[in-house]
Amino acid sequence: MILLDTHAWTRWLHPELGPNLTPPIRRWIEESDETLVVSVISCLEISQLVKKGTLTLPSPLPHWFDLALDAAGITCLPLNPVLLYASVGLPEIHKDPADRIIIATAQYYDAWLVTRDENIQKYPNLRTLWNSAPGRQ
């Protein structure tokens, strides 16, 4: 399973939003047989960014979600009490509750987490990628 952080999801679908995924990561995702997923909390983050005007998408919400999930072959993982509990038990490296939920989700599913967030990359028991693909680091 490959979990895209919120910014990685938007850049996977819209490279023009940059900074883009590196060519090795993009190629690894394209060639992987792993399920491509996002956390439902990323939908909240995107909604907030669009509302604030810091993110402009090529189609309006909520229609963009249909295109960015089903049409793109990406599964949206729901929240559950176990993930929420795990997110508050994480070390205090990252303060953002949404990012902590994404971290807990990646750990719970033992997923690769594609993120450029350096604070997220500091967490133990977490497999993260941004600059290079597994086996090419």
What is the per-residue pLDDT for 135?
A: 65
What is the per-residue pLDDT for 18?
A: 73
What is the per-residue pLDDT for 4?
A: 98
Find out whether the peptide bond into 19 is cis, omega within 30 degrees of 0: yes
Q: Which of 11, 9, 19, 26 is nearest to 133 (CA)?
A: 26
**Positions in the chain whose pLDDT score sits under 70:** 135-137
What is the per-residue pLDDT for 20?
A: 82
Between the CA of residue 101 and those of 20, 78, 118, what are the distances in Å? 23, 11, 16
What is the per-residue pLDDT for 134?
A: 79
C-beta separation of 87 from 103 below 8 A: yes
In this prediction the pTM is 0.94
- Residues in the chain, how many? 137
What is the per-residue pLDDT for 111?
A: 98
Q: Which fold has domain 2-129?
A: Rossmann fold (3.40.50)
